[in-house]
Structure 1
Amino acid sequence: MKIIVPMAGRGSRLRPHTLTVPKPLVPVAGMPIVHRLVRDIAAILKQPIDEVAFVIGDPAFFGPEVEQSLTELAESLGAKGTIYRQDKPLGTGHAIMCAEPSLSGPAVIAYADTLIRASFELDPEADSVIWTKKVANPEAYGVVKLNEENNIVELVEKPEEFVSDQAVIGIYYFKNVDELRQELQYVLENAIINGGEYQINDGIKRMMTKGKVFKTGTVDHWMDCGNKTITVETNAKMLNFLHQEGESLVATDITLENSEIIPPCSVASGVVLKNTTVGPHVSIGANTTLENSNVKNSIIQSETTIKNATLEEAMIGNKVHFDGAFKKVSLGDYSELK
Protein backbone atom coordinates (compact mmCIF):
# COMPACT_ATOMS: atom_id res chain seq x y z
CA MET A 1 0.00 0.00 0.00
CA LYS A 2 1.14 3.53 -0.81
CA ILE A 3 0.02 6.88 0.56
CA ILE A 4 0.22 9.86 -1.81
CA VAL A 5 0.07 13.28 -0.13
CA PRO A 6 -0.29 16.39 -2.32
CA MET A 7 0.74 19.31 -0.10
CA ALA A 8 2.25 22.02 -2.31
CA GLY A 9 -0.15 24.81 -1.31
CA ARG A 10 1.06 27.78 0.74
CA GLY A 11 -1.89 27.85 3.17
CA SER A 12 -2.65 31.53 2.69
CA ARG A 13 -5.79 31.41 4.86
CA LEU A 14 -3.65 30.45 7.86
CA ARG A 15 -1.24 33.37 7.57
CA PRO A 16 0.82 34.62 9.34
CA HIS A 17 1.51 31.13 10.68
CA THR A 18 2.28 29.80 7.21
CA LEU A 19 4.64 32.58 6.16
CA THR A 20 7.63 30.59 7.43
CA VAL A 21 6.18 27.10 7.94
CA PRO A 22 4.21 25.12 5.32
CA LYS A 23 0.64 24.63 6.49
CA PRO A 24 0.87 20.80 6.72
CA LEU A 25 3.75 21.19 9.17
CA VAL A 26 1.87 23.52 11.53
CA PRO A 27 1.44 21.55 14.77
CA VAL A 28 -2.01 20.61 16.05
CA ALA A 29 -2.33 18.74 19.36
CA GLY A 30 1.44 18.47 19.56
CA MET A 31 2.14 17.07 16.08
CA PRO A 32 2.36 18.55 12.56
CA ILE A 33 -0.91 18.19 10.65
CA VAL A 34 0.54 15.97 7.90
CA HIS A 35 2.31 13.71 10.42
CA ARG A 36 -0.91 13.06 12.30
CA LEU A 37 -2.91 12.59 9.09
CA VAL A 38 -0.53 10.03 7.61
CA ARG A 39 -0.24 8.12 10.88
CA ASP A 40 -4.03 7.99 11.29
CA ILE A 41 -4.51 6.75 7.71
CA ALA A 42 -1.89 4.05 8.24
CA ALA A 43 -3.71 2.93 11.40
CA ILE A 44 -7.05 2.71 9.57
CA LEU A 45 -5.58 0.71 6.68
CA LYS A 46 -4.17 -1.95 9.03
CA GLN A 47 -1.66 -3.14 6.44
CA PRO A 48 1.99 -2.46 5.68
CA ILE A 49 2.79 0.88 4.02
CA ASP A 50 5.47 0.48 1.35
CA GLU A 51 5.86 4.10 0.31
CA VAL A 52 4.67 7.56 1.28
CA ALA A 53 5.02 10.03 -1.60
CA PHE A 54 4.77 13.75 -0.85
CA VAL A 55 4.11 16.37 -3.50
CA ILE A 56 5.54 19.64 -2.23
CA GLY A 57 6.03 23.09 -3.74
CA ASP A 58 8.65 25.76 -4.23
CA PRO A 59 12.07 24.66 -2.85
CA ALA A 60 12.54 28.16 -1.43
CA PHE A 61 9.62 27.44 0.91
CA PHE A 62 9.59 23.64 1.09
CA GLY A 63 13.33 23.33 1.72
CA PRO A 64 15.66 20.55 2.90
CA GLU A 65 14.30 20.59 6.46
CA VAL A 66 10.80 19.92 5.13
CA GLU A 67 12.06 17.07 2.96
CA GLN A 68 13.91 15.55 5.92
CA SER A 69 10.84 15.80 8.17
CA LEU A 70 8.64 14.08 5.61
CA THR A 71 11.17 11.37 4.83
CA GLU A 72 11.52 10.62 8.54
CA LEU A 73 7.73 10.43 8.83
CA ALA A 74 7.59 7.78 6.11
CA GLU A 75 10.49 5.84 7.62
CA SER A 76 8.79 5.83 11.04
CA LEU A 77 6.04 3.76 9.38
CA GLY A 78 8.55 1.37 7.83
CA ALA A 79 7.99 2.92 4.40
CA LYS A 80 10.11 4.61 1.77
CA GLY A 81 9.68 8.37 1.64
CA THR A 82 9.58 9.92 -1.83
CA ILE A 83 9.55 13.65 -2.57
CA TYR A 84 8.07 15.22 -5.71
CA ARG A 85 7.67 18.86 -6.68
CA GLN A 86 4.69 20.74 -8.07
CA ASP A 87 6.24 23.90 -9.49
CA LYS A 88 2.95 25.56 -10.45
CA PRO A 89 -0.43 25.40 -8.67
CA LEU A 90 -2.37 23.79 -11.50
CA GLY A 91 -4.91 21.84 -9.47
CA THR A 92 -5.47 18.60 -7.62
CA GLY A 93 -5.22 16.39 -10.69
CA HIS A 94 -1.96 18.00 -11.75
CA ALA A 95 -0.53 17.63 -8.22
CA ILE A 96 -1.23 13.89 -8.25
CA MET A 97 0.41 13.51 -11.66
CA CYS A 98 3.56 15.14 -10.30
CA ALA A 99 3.97 11.85 -8.39
CA GLU A 100 3.47 9.77 -11.56
CA PRO A 101 6.39 7.34 -10.92
CA SER A 102 4.65 6.27 -7.69
CA LEU A 103 1.17 5.85 -9.20
CA SER A 104 0.92 2.07 -9.31
CA GLY A 105 -0.72 -0.60 -7.19
CA PRO A 106 -3.06 0.09 -4.27
CA ALA A 107 -2.82 3.60 -2.87
CA VAL A 108 -4.53 6.18 -0.72
CA ILE A 109 -4.43 9.79 -1.88
CA ALA A 110 -4.90 12.30 0.95
CA TYR A 111 -4.76 16.07 0.88
CA ALA A 112 -2.82 17.35 3.88
CA ASP A 113 -5.17 20.02 5.24
CA THR A 114 -7.55 17.88 7.25
CA LEU A 115 -7.60 15.52 10.22
CA ILE A 116 -9.91 12.57 10.77
CA ARG A 117 -11.07 9.93 13.20
CA ALA A 118 -12.42 6.79 11.56
CA SER A 119 -12.71 3.04 12.09
CA PHE A 120 -14.21 1.60 8.89
CA GLU A 121 -12.86 -1.28 6.79
CA LEU A 122 -12.01 -0.83 3.10
CA ASP A 123 -14.54 -2.58 0.88
CA PRO A 124 -12.65 -5.36 -0.99
CA GLU A 125 -15.24 -5.29 -3.81
CA ALA A 126 -14.58 -1.63 -4.61
CA ASP A 127 -12.23 -0.35 -7.29
CA SER A 128 -12.08 2.84 -5.27
CA VAL A 129 -13.30 4.26 -1.98
CA ILE A 130 -14.02 7.95 -1.53
CA TRP A 131 -13.92 8.94 2.12
CA THR A 132 -16.90 11.06 3.17
CA LYS A 133 -18.47 12.68 6.23
CA LYS A 134 -22.17 13.17 6.86
CA VAL A 135 -22.84 16.91 7.04
CA ALA A 136 -25.84 19.03 7.98
CA ASN A 137 -25.38 21.52 5.12
CA PRO A 138 -24.39 19.53 1.99
CA GLU A 139 -25.01 22.54 -0.25
CA ALA A 140 -21.70 23.95 1.04
CA TYR A 141 -19.62 20.93 -0.02
CA GLY A 142 -18.83 18.59 -2.85
CA VAL A 143 -20.98 15.50 -2.24
CA VAL A 144 -21.39 12.00 -3.66
CA LYS A 145 -24.53 10.70 -5.39
CA LEU A 146 -25.35 7.06 -4.64
CA ASN A 147 -27.38 4.46 -6.50
CA GLU A 148 -29.55 1.71 -5.00
CA GLU A 149 -26.47 -0.46 -4.39
CA ASN A 150 -24.85 2.43 -2.49
CA ASN A 151 -22.23 2.80 -5.20
CA ILE A 152 -21.06 6.31 -6.02
CA VAL A 153 -22.30 7.26 -9.47
CA GLU A 154 -21.65 10.99 -9.51
CA LEU A 155 -19.69 13.77 -7.79
CA VAL A 156 -21.66 16.99 -7.36
CA GLU A 157 -20.08 20.27 -6.26
CA LYS A 158 -22.17 22.40 -3.90
CA PRO A 159 -25.58 21.11 -5.05
CA GLU A 160 -28.44 23.59 -5.03
CA GLU A 161 -30.91 20.71 -4.66
CA PHE A 162 -30.40 17.79 -2.28
CA VAL A 163 -28.23 15.00 -3.69
CA SER A 164 -26.89 13.41 -0.50
CA ASP A 165 -25.48 14.48 2.85
CA GLN A 166 -22.14 12.68 2.30
CA ALA A 167 -19.42 15.31 1.75
CA VAL A 168 -16.12 14.44 0.06
CA ILE A 169 -13.26 15.14 2.50
CA GLY A 170 -10.29 14.78 0.16
CA ILE A 171 -9.09 11.23 0.93
CA TYR A 172 -9.38 8.47 -1.68
CA TYR A 173 -8.42 4.79 -1.96
CA PHE A 174 -7.69 3.14 -5.31
CA LYS A 175 -7.23 -0.60 -5.67
CA ASN A 176 -4.98 0.18 -8.63
CA VAL A 177 -4.04 3.85 -8.71
CA ASP A 178 -2.58 3.40 -12.20
CA GLU A 179 -6.17 3.51 -13.48
CA LEU A 180 -6.52 7.02 -12.08
CA ARG A 181 -3.14 7.91 -13.54
CA GLN A 182 -4.29 6.92 -17.01
CA GLU A 183 -7.43 9.03 -16.78
CA LEU A 184 -5.60 12.03 -15.38
CA GLN A 185 -3.08 11.72 -18.18
CA TYR A 186 -6.00 12.04 -20.60
CA VAL A 187 -7.26 15.06 -18.65
CA LEU A 188 -3.90 16.80 -18.93
CA GLU A 189 -3.30 15.91 -22.57
CA ASN A 190 -6.76 17.15 -23.56
CA ALA A 191 -6.67 20.26 -21.36
CA ILE A 192 -9.84 19.35 -19.46
CA ILE A 193 -9.96 22.24 -17.01
CA ASN A 194 -12.50 23.16 -14.33
CA GLY A 195 -12.16 26.26 -12.21
CA GLY A 196 -8.98 27.10 -14.08
CA GLU A 197 -7.26 23.91 -12.92
CA TYR A 198 -6.86 20.18 -13.61
CA GLN A 199 -9.07 18.37 -11.11
CA ILE A 200 -8.93 14.86 -9.63
CA ASN A 201 -12.72 14.68 -10.07
CA ASP A 202 -12.39 14.66 -13.86
CA GLY A 203 -10.16 11.59 -13.67
CA ILE A 204 -12.57 9.91 -11.25
CA LYS A 205 -15.58 10.65 -13.47
CA ARG A 206 -13.81 9.02 -16.42
CA MET A 207 -13.21 5.92 -14.27
CA MET A 208 -16.92 5.84 -13.40
CA THR A 209 -17.96 5.96 -17.07
CA LYS A 210 -15.84 2.84 -17.60
CA GLY A 211 -17.76 0.91 -14.95
CA LYS A 212 -15.35 1.14 -12.04
CA VAL A 213 -17.06 0.57 -8.68
CA PHE A 214 -16.77 3.45 -6.21
CA LYS A 215 -17.87 3.06 -2.59
CA THR A 216 -17.98 5.42 0.37
CA GLY A 217 -15.91 5.14 3.50
CA THR A 218 -17.60 7.33 6.11
CA VAL A 219 -15.37 8.87 8.77
CA ASP A 220 -16.62 9.58 12.28
CA HIS A 221 -14.97 12.98 12.55
CA TRP A 222 -13.56 15.36 9.95
CA MET A 223 -11.61 18.36 11.21
CA ASP A 224 -10.34 21.20 9.06
CA CYS A 225 -7.25 23.36 9.56
CA GLY A 226 -8.20 26.07 7.09
CA ASN A 227 -7.78 29.20 9.16
CA LYS A 228 -6.73 30.25 12.65
CA THR A 229 -10.15 29.93 14.29
CA ILE A 230 -10.89 26.51 12.80
CA THR A 231 -7.38 25.26 13.57
CA VAL A 232 -7.75 26.19 17.24
CA GLU A 233 -11.10 24.35 17.29
CA THR A 234 -9.50 21.29 15.67
CA ASN A 235 -6.70 21.39 18.23
CA ALA A 236 -9.26 21.18 21.03
CA LYS A 237 -11.13 18.30 19.39
CA MET A 238 -7.94 16.31 18.78
CA LEU A 239 -6.79 16.83 22.37
CA ASN A 240 -10.13 15.46 23.57
CA PHE A 241 -9.82 12.37 21.35
CA LEU A 242 -6.21 11.69 22.35
CA HIS A 243 -6.98 12.18 26.05
CA GLN A 244 -9.91 9.75 25.85
CA GLU A 245 -7.68 7.22 24.08
CA GLY A 246 -5.14 7.43 26.89
CA GLU A 247 -2.31 8.96 24.88
CA SER A 248 0.44 10.59 26.95
CA LEU A 249 0.39 14.28 26.04
CA VAL A 250 2.63 15.94 28.64
CA ALA A 251 6.41 15.52 28.45
CA THR A 252 8.22 14.29 31.55
CA ASP A 253 10.96 16.94 31.47
CA ILE A 254 8.87 20.09 31.87
CA THR A 255 9.32 22.60 34.73
CA LEU A 256 6.33 23.52 36.89
CA GLU A 257 6.70 26.34 39.43
CA ASN A 258 3.47 27.20 41.22
CA SER A 259 1.63 26.21 38.05
CA GLU A 260 -1.21 23.93 36.93
CA ILE A 261 -2.02 22.03 33.75
CA ILE A 262 -5.74 21.37 33.26
CA PRO A 263 -6.21 18.47 30.82
CA PRO A 264 -6.44 17.80 28.04
CA CYS A 265 -3.27 19.63 27.03
CA SER A 266 -0.22 18.79 24.93
CA VAL A 267 2.96 20.08 26.56
CA ALA A 268 6.26 19.37 24.79
CA SER A 269 9.76 18.77 26.10
CA GLY A 270 11.57 21.61 27.84
CA VAL A 271 8.50 23.74 28.57
CA VAL A 272 8.72 25.98 31.65
CA LEU A 273 5.59 27.15 33.46
CA LYS A 274 5.90 29.71 36.28
CA ASN A 275 2.89 31.03 38.19
CA THR A 276 0.79 29.92 35.26
CA THR A 277 -2.35 27.93 34.54
CA VAL A 278 -2.78 26.29 31.15
CA GLY A 279 -5.77 24.37 29.86
CA PRO A 280 -7.99 22.94 28.98
CA HIS A 281 -7.30 22.48 25.26
CA VAL A 282 -3.83 24.04 25.07
CA SER A 283 -0.90 22.80 22.95
CA ILE A 284 2.57 24.12 23.81
CA GLY A 285 5.69 23.49 21.70
CA ALA A 286 9.15 22.56 22.87
CA ASN A 287 11.27 24.91 25.01
CA THR A 288 8.54 27.51 25.46
CA THR A 289 8.24 29.51 28.70
CA LEU A 290 5.06 30.93 30.21
CA GLU A 291 5.14 33.19 33.26
CA ASN A 292 2.34 34.81 35.25
CA SER A 293 -0.20 33.76 32.64
CA ASN A 294 -3.51 32.01 32.16
CA VAL A 295 -3.98 30.23 28.84
CA LYS A 296 -6.86 28.11 27.57
CA ASN A 297 -8.04 26.78 24.20
CA SER A 298 -4.89 27.91 22.37
CA ILE A 299 -1.89 26.78 20.33
CA ILE A 300 1.57 28.06 21.25
CA GLN A 301 4.54 26.82 19.25
CA SER A 302 8.22 26.31 20.11
CA GLU A 303 10.87 28.52 21.73
CA THR A 304 8.36 31.23 22.59
CA THR A 305 8.17 33.36 25.75
CA ILE A 306 4.86 34.61 27.12
CA LYS A 307 4.49 36.75 30.22
CA ASN A 308 1.60 38.44 32.04
CA ALA A 309 -0.94 37.18 29.55
CA THR A 310 -4.53 36.00 29.65
CA LEU A 311 -5.10 34.11 26.40
CA GLU A 312 -8.06 32.29 24.96
CA GLU A 313 -8.57 31.14 21.34
CA ALA A 314 -5.02 32.27 20.61
CA MET A 315 -2.55 30.89 18.08
CA ILE A 316 1.07 31.95 18.55
CA GLY A 317 4.02 30.89 16.43
CA ASN A 318 7.67 30.01 17.03
CA LYS A 319 10.22 32.30 18.71
CA VAL A 320 7.59 34.84 19.74
CA HIS A 321 8.04 37.25 22.68
CA PHE A 322 4.68 38.32 24.05
CA ASP A 323 3.97 40.42 27.13
CA GLY A 324 0.49 41.79 27.54
CA ALA A 325 -3.11 41.30 28.48
CA PHE A 326 -4.65 40.66 25.07
CA LYS A 327 -7.16 37.78 24.96
CA LYS A 328 -7.60 36.92 21.27
CA VAL A 329 -4.46 37.13 19.17
CA SER A 330 -2.90 35.58 16.08
CA LEU A 331 0.87 36.03 15.94
CA GLY A 332 3.28 34.63 13.37
CA ASP A 333 6.87 33.52 13.84
CA TYR A 334 9.45 35.98 15.22
CA SER A 335 6.79 38.52 16.26
CA GLU A 336 7.20 40.66 19.36
CA LEU A 337 4.67 42.43 21.58
CA LYS A 338 6.17 44.09 24.66
Structure 2
Amino acid sequence: MKAMILAAGKGERLRPLTLHTPKPLVKAAGVPLIEYHVRALVAAGFTELVINHAWLGQQIEDYLGDGSRFGAHIVYSPEGEPLETGGGIFKALPLLGDEPFLVVNGDIFTDYPFAELRKPMSGLAHLVLVDNPAHHPHGDFVLAMGQVQDAESLGERLTYSGIAVLHPRLFAACQPGAFKLAPLLRSAMQQGQVSGERHAGCWIDVGTHERLAEVERLLQEVR
Protein backbone atom coordinates (compact mmCIF):
# COMPACT_ATOMS: atom_id res chain seq x y z
CA MET A 1 0.00 0.00 0.00
CA LYS A 2 1.27 3.47 -0.89
CA ALA A 3 0.93 6.50 1.36
CA MET A 4 0.49 10.19 0.56
CA ILE A 5 1.56 13.02 2.85
CA LEU A 6 -0.37 16.24 2.22
CA ALA A 7 2.20 19.02 2.41
CA ALA A 8 0.85 21.84 0.24
CA GLY A 9 -0.47 24.10 3.01
CA LYS A 10 0.96 27.58 3.41
CA GLY A 11 0.84 27.66 7.21
CA GLU A 12 -0.22 31.29 7.51
CA ARG A 13 -1.05 30.99 11.22
CA LEU A 14 2.53 29.89 11.89
CA ARG A 15 4.07 33.05 10.49
CA PRO A 16 6.78 34.27 10.69
CA LEU A 17 8.14 30.69 10.83
CA THR A 18 6.53 29.92 7.48
CA LEU A 19 7.51 33.06 5.61
CA HIS A 20 10.68 31.39 4.35
CA THR A 21 10.09 27.77 5.39
CA PRO A 22 7.26 25.50 4.20
CA LYS A 23 5.00 24.42 7.04
CA PRO A 24 6.01 20.70 6.85
CA LEU A 25 9.64 21.69 7.49
CA VAL A 26 8.85 23.68 10.64
CA LYS A 27 10.75 21.91 13.41
CA ALA A 28 9.55 20.41 16.68
CA ALA A 29 12.36 19.38 19.02
CA GLY A 30 14.81 20.02 16.19
CA VAL A 31 13.11 17.71 13.67
CA PRO A 32 10.87 18.85 10.77
CA LEU A 33 7.24 17.85 11.28
CA ILE A 34 7.13 15.92 8.01
CA GLU A 35 10.12 13.80 9.03
CA TYR A 36 8.14 12.36 11.94
CA HIS A 37 5.55 11.15 9.43
CA VAL A 38 8.10 9.71 7.03
CA ARG A 39 9.85 7.75 9.76
CA ALA A 40 6.56 6.52 11.28
CA LEU A 41 5.21 5.43 7.91
CA VAL A 42 8.40 3.54 7.01
CA ALA A 43 8.37 1.84 10.44
CA ALA A 44 4.78 0.75 9.70
CA GLY A 45 5.75 -0.78 6.35
CA PHE A 46 4.85 2.10 4.03
CA THR A 47 7.92 2.61 1.87
CA GLU A 48 6.31 4.02 -1.32
CA LEU A 49 5.45 7.62 -0.46
CA VAL A 50 3.89 10.44 -2.46
CA ILE A 51 4.17 14.02 -1.21
CA ASN A 52 2.37 17.00 -2.71
CA HIS A 53 3.62 20.53 -2.18
CA ALA A 54 3.06 24.11 -3.26
CA TRP A 55 4.41 26.91 -1.05
CA LEU A 56 8.24 26.70 -1.06
CA GLY A 57 7.85 23.07 -2.05
CA GLN A 58 11.32 22.71 -3.51
CA GLN A 59 12.69 22.97 0.02
CA ILE A 60 10.73 19.83 0.93
CA GLU A 61 12.22 17.96 -2.02
CA ASP A 62 15.70 19.21 -1.18
CA TYR A 63 15.36 18.04 2.44
CA LEU A 64 13.75 14.62 1.93
CA GLY A 65 15.27 13.81 -1.45
CA ASP A 66 14.28 10.47 -2.89
CA GLY A 67 13.65 9.11 0.60
CA SER A 68 16.46 6.57 0.51
CA ARG A 69 18.08 7.79 3.72
CA PHE A 70 14.81 7.01 5.51
CA GLY A 71 14.36 3.62 3.84
CA ALA A 72 11.62 4.94 1.57
CA HIS A 73 11.05 5.82 -2.06
CA ILE A 74 9.51 9.29 -2.32
CA VAL A 75 7.95 10.88 -5.40
CA TYR A 76 6.49 14.38 -5.49
CA SER A 77 3.35 15.98 -6.86
CA PRO A 78 4.10 19.71 -7.16
CA GLU A 79 1.18 22.13 -7.40
CA GLY A 80 1.69 25.48 -9.07
CA GLU A 81 -1.34 26.74 -7.19
CA PRO A 82 -2.77 25.04 -4.08
CA LEU A 83 -5.47 22.59 -5.14
CA GLU A 84 -7.00 22.00 -1.68
CA THR A 85 -7.11 18.49 -0.28
CA GLY A 86 -9.37 16.88 -2.86
CA GLY A 87 -7.74 18.48 -5.88
CA GLY A 88 -4.27 17.73 -4.58
CA ILE A 89 -5.03 14.04 -4.10
CA PHE A 90 -6.75 13.84 -7.49
CA LYS A 91 -3.68 15.32 -9.22
CA ALA A 92 -1.48 12.72 -7.50
CA LEU A 93 -3.64 9.71 -8.40
CA PRO A 94 -1.38 8.65 -11.33
CA LEU A 95 1.42 8.29 -8.76
CA LEU A 96 -0.77 6.39 -6.29
CA GLY A 97 -2.06 3.63 -8.55
CA ASP A 98 -5.37 1.78 -8.63
CA GLU A 99 -5.46 0.38 -5.10
CA PRO A 100 -6.50 2.01 -1.80
CA PHE A 101 -3.83 4.29 -0.33
CA LEU A 102 -3.18 5.94 3.01
CA VAL A 103 -3.33 9.71 3.23
CA VAL A 104 -2.12 11.81 6.16
CA ASN A 105 -2.09 15.55 6.70
CA GLY A 106 1.45 16.81 6.95
CA ASP A 107 0.59 19.28 9.70
CA ILE A 108 -0.56 16.89 12.41
CA PHE A 109 1.47 15.22 15.13
CA THR A 110 0.27 11.82 16.29
CA ASP A 111 1.20 8.44 17.71
CA TYR A 112 -1.40 6.67 15.57
CA PRO A 113 -0.08 3.21 14.58
CA PHE A 114 -0.17 3.48 10.78
CA ALA A 115 0.37 -0.27 10.38
CA GLU A 116 -3.26 -0.73 11.51
CA LEU A 117 -4.38 0.61 8.14
CA ARG A 118 -2.53 -2.00 6.09
CA LYS A 119 -5.58 -4.19 5.59
CA PRO A 120 -8.31 -4.72 2.98
CA MET A 121 -11.03 -2.08 2.69
CA SER A 122 -14.49 -2.81 1.30
CA GLY A 123 -15.81 0.74 0.85
CA LEU A 124 -14.48 3.95 -0.66
CA ALA A 125 -12.88 5.38 2.48
CA HIS A 126 -11.84 4.56 6.03
CA LEU A 127 -11.39 7.52 8.36
CA VAL A 128 -9.53 7.83 11.64
CA LEU A 129 -11.48 10.07 14.03
CA VAL A 130 -10.36 11.67 17.30
CA ASP A 131 -12.02 13.39 20.24
CA ASN A 132 -12.83 17.01 19.49
CA PRO A 133 -9.98 19.39 20.39
CA ALA A 134 -10.70 22.71 22.06
CA HIS A 135 -10.27 24.59 18.79
CA HIS A 136 -12.82 22.37 16.99
CA PRO A 137 -15.45 21.57 19.66
CA HIS A 138 -18.32 20.58 17.36
CA GLY A 139 -16.49 17.87 15.45
CA ASP A 140 -17.04 16.65 11.90
CA PHE A 141 -18.69 13.24 11.69
CA VAL A 142 -20.45 10.55 13.71
CA LEU A 143 -19.00 7.05 14.16
CA ALA A 144 -21.67 4.40 14.68
CA MET A 145 -21.21 0.63 14.39
CA GLY A 146 -17.97 1.09 12.47
CA GLN A 147 -19.55 3.39 9.88
CA VAL A 148 -19.02 7.13 9.53
CA GLN A 149 -22.04 9.39 8.96
CA ASP A 150 -22.74 13.10 8.81
CA ALA A 151 -26.06 13.03 10.69
CA GLU A 152 -25.99 14.61 14.15
CA SER A 153 -29.02 12.57 15.19
CA LEU A 154 -26.91 9.41 15.19
CA GLY A 155 -24.75 10.41 18.15
CA GLU A 156 -21.62 12.20 19.27
CA ARG A 157 -19.64 13.99 16.60
CA LEU A 158 -15.91 13.39 16.41
CA THR A 159 -13.13 15.20 14.55
CA TYR A 160 -11.54 13.87 11.36
CA SER A 161 -7.87 13.38 12.21
CA GLY A 162 -6.46 13.94 8.73
CA ILE A 163 -5.61 10.22 8.52
CA ALA A 164 -7.54 8.00 6.12
CA VAL A 165 -7.40 5.21 3.59
CA LEU A 166 -9.03 6.22 0.32
CA HIS A 167 -9.92 4.25 -2.77
CA PRO A 168 -9.18 5.94 -6.11
CA ARG A 169 -12.82 5.27 -7.08
CA LEU A 170 -13.81 7.99 -4.58
CA PHE A 171 -12.56 10.47 -7.19
CA ALA A 172 -14.20 8.83 -10.22
CA ALA A 173 -16.41 11.81 -11.10
CA CYS A 174 -13.80 14.51 -10.39
CA GLN A 175 -12.11 16.91 -12.77
CA PRO A 176 -8.70 18.60 -12.42
CA GLY A 177 -8.63 21.75 -10.32
CA ALA A 178 -9.03 22.88 -6.75
CA PHE A 179 -11.73 21.17 -4.68
CA LYS A 180 -12.30 19.95 -1.14
CA LEU A 181 -12.28 16.35 0.03
CA ALA A 182 -15.18 16.61 2.50
CA PRO A 183 -18.02 16.73 -0.08
CA LEU A 184 -16.72 13.52 -1.68
CA LEU A 185 -16.62 11.84 1.73
CA ARG A 186 -20.15 13.01 2.60
CA SER A 187 -21.47 11.65 -0.69
CA ALA A 188 -19.80 8.30 -0.01
CA MET A 189 -21.22 8.29 3.53
CA GLN A 190 -24.73 8.55 2.11
CA GLN A 191 -24.00 5.38 0.17
CA GLY A 192 -22.70 3.59 3.27
CA GLN A 193 -19.22 3.45 1.78
CA VAL A 194 -17.20 5.07 4.61
CA SER A 195 -15.95 3.08 7.58
CA GLY A 196 -14.06 4.50 10.52
CA GLU A 197 -12.33 4.10 13.85
CA ARG A 198 -11.59 6.25 16.89
CA HIS A 199 -8.02 6.98 17.95
CA ALA A 200 -7.71 7.80 21.64
CA GLY A 201 -3.97 8.46 21.67
CA CYS A 202 -1.90 11.53 20.92
CA TRP A 203 -3.14 13.81 18.15
CA ILE A 204 -2.37 17.49 17.65
CA ASP A 205 -3.26 19.71 14.71
CA VAL A 206 -0.09 21.79 14.55
CA GLY A 207 -1.73 24.89 13.11
CA THR A 208 -0.65 27.57 15.58
CA HIS A 209 2.38 28.56 17.61
CA GLU A 210 0.59 27.38 20.77
CA ARG A 211 0.00 23.89 19.41
CA LEU A 212 3.54 23.69 18.06
CA ALA A 213 4.72 24.48 21.59
CA GLU A 214 2.49 21.67 22.86
CA VAL A 215 4.23 19.22 20.54
CA GLU A 216 7.59 20.50 21.77
CA ARG A 217 6.55 19.84 25.38
CA LEU A 218 5.39 16.31 24.58
CA LEU A 219 8.65 15.47 22.83
CA GLN A 220 10.71 16.83 25.70
CA GLU A 221 8.77 14.66 28.16
CA VAL A 222 9.63 11.46 26.30
CA ARG A 223 13.32 12.28 25.94
For 1:69 and 1:140, locate their aligned partners in 2 and report how far apart those are by CA, in whole Å: 35
Q: CA deviation at 1:6?
A: 1.9
The code of the aligned residue for 2:82 comes to P
Question: Is the radius of gyration larger for structure 1 or structure 2?
Answer: 1
Residues 1:169 and 1:99: Cα distance change in structure 2 (over 3 Å) = same
Q: CA deviation at 1:131?
A: 1.4
- Which of 91, 94, 116 is residue 110 of structure 2 equivalent to? 116
The code of the aligned residue for 1:25 comes to L
Give the match for residue 205 of structure 1: 186
Residues 1:180 and 1:226: Cα distance change in structure 2 (over 3 Å) = same
Residues 1:179 and 1:87: Cα distance change in structure 2 (over 3 Å) = same
Give the match for residue 169 of structure 1: 161
For 1:136 and 1:62, locate their aligned partners in 2 and report how far apart those are by CA, in whole Å: 29
For 2:184 and 2:120, locate their aligned partners in 1 and report how far apart those are by CA, in whole Å: 21
Correspondence 1:1-338 to 2 at 5 A = 1-43=1-43, 46-47=44-45, 49-58=46-55, 61-63=56-58, 65-72=59-66, 74-104=67-97, 105-119=99-113, 121-122=116-117, 124=120, 127=123, 128-135=125-132, 140-147=137-144, 149-154=145-150, 163-174=155-166, 177-182=167-172, 186-188=173-175, 198-241=179-222, 243=223
For 2:17 and 2:211, locate their aligned partners in 1 and report how far apart those are by CA, in whole Å: 13
Structure 1 or 2: more helix by fraction: 2
Aligned residue pairs, count: 219
TM-score, normalised relative to structure 1:
0.57
What stretches of structure 2 of length at least 5 have no aligned partner? none
3-state SS, counterpart of residue 135 of structure 1: coil
Query: RCO higher in 1 or 2 (8 Å CA, sep ≥ 6)?
Result: 2
For 1:29 and 1:212, locate their aligned partners in 2 and report how far apart those are by CA, in whole Å: 39
Q: CA deviation at 1:217?
A: 4.4
What stretches of structure 1 of length at least 5 have no aligned partner? 192-196, 244-338
Identity of aligned residues (%): 24
TM-score, normalised relative to structure 2:
0.83
CA RMSD of aligned residues (A): 2.8
Q: CA deviation at 1:92?
A: 1.2
Asked if structure 2 preserves the Cα contact closer than 8 Å seen for 1:7 and 1:24, the reply is yes
